[in-house]
Amino acid sequence: MTKYGSFPGTRPRRLRTTPAMRRMVAETRLHPADFILPAFIREGVSEPVPIAAMPGVVQHTRDSLKKAALEAVEAGVSGIMLFGVPEESKKDALGTPGTDPDGILQVALRDVRAEVGDELLVMSDLCLDETTDHGHCGVLDEQGRVDNDATLERYAEMAQVQADAGAHVVGPSGMMDGQIGVIRDALDQIGREDVAILAYTAKYSSAFYGPFREAVASSLKGDRKTYQQDPANVRESMRELALDLEEGADLVMVKPAGPYLDVLARVADSVDVPVVAYQISGEYSMIEAAAEKGWIDRDRAILETLTGIRRAGAQNVLTYWATEVAVALR
């Protein structure tokens, strides 16, 4: 009591007094079903290969990938997004391993589907960057530029091969104009109307992709600024969103997540389809590195960033901590 009586009469702190109170009034909650686990499968290795820039993440063997998928199922994770890393000698200008039924990604899709069936959504990265000797997400023209329409033909074939291999969901990440419509048509032509498309709607040209380049043994020469979005723009994302929905996207994504929460919130407020965000390699590596130095509380930082992504509007989050956090939540 002060000389002003009971001032202040409104005390928001009453709702922060105990852990039970804070838990009860929490506006955003994390659940294992919110998460999708990105996973790398590398051809020609007999043991999982640690990724130096991403402590705790590996390039899987076929056997270790199946084990990781089972662990995700047991933890209650909703999906696993697979990225294939072919042998270097198999890469070429067209990204042939991406459409070879016996390419490492297609092999992994069959392996994981055989292991988990429909208990886990098996998703596939639909892009050429891991399979081309130049590291770009598409076919190059005579001037060394990414040829949008020639790339769409490759994406159509990739979609069909990935669907045949067992993908529940394909994730075209190359940011080619018209890619969702072409892929939808390609899937429907082979009677795979059941395969969903997760559109990488707003994929920015980001500095935070660095560790991922090691994870997929990227052969990239140059950069991807002519097809990935400029970090300065948001209206452009809304235009991409309208196009993806018109072309038949079932889910839409914002990538990266953390630096683009404003974009994520705008997208989530504008659509009636599920919205996904990708907490990418650089976001992961920064927290792991700072925690290793003792500069931050690792577990609190992980949960805080994931809560922020969900609070901004993401229904699901791709995160390399998916299984770990799902286990902790359960």
Annotated binding-site ranges for Mg(2+):
240
Rounded CA separation 115/193 (Å): 23
Query: In sequence order, what are the beta bridge partners of 215?
Result: none
> 83 with 124: CB under 8 angstroms?
no
Rounded CA separation 138/130 (Å): 10
Q: Which amino acid is at 199?
A: A
Nearest residue to 209 (alpha-carbon basis) of 303, 105, 135, 108: 135
Rounded CA separation 178/90 (Å): 28
Which of the 8 DSSP states describes residue 120? S
Q: Which of 66, 225, 255, 293 is catalytic?
A: 255
Q: Is 67 a catalytic residue?
A: no
Q: Is 203 a catalytic residue?
A: yes
The binding site for 5-aminolevulinate comprises 213, 224, 281, 320
Q: Which of 3, 91, 203, 293 is catalytic?
A: 203
Q: Give, for 50, the enclosing helix (H) or strand (E).
A: strand 49-50
> 38 with 83: CB under 8 angstroms?
yes
Q: For residue 24, what are the CA distances in angstroms to 21, 129, 251?
A: 5, 45, 30
The binding site comprises 213, 224, 240, 281, 320
> 187 with 160: CB under 8 angstroms?
yes
Structure tokens at 219: 């052969």
Which of the 8 DSSP states describes residue 72? H
Asked whether the bond before 97 is cis by omega within 30 degrees of 0, the reply is: no
Structure tokens at 16: 């922060």
Give the residue numbers marked as catalytic: 203, 255
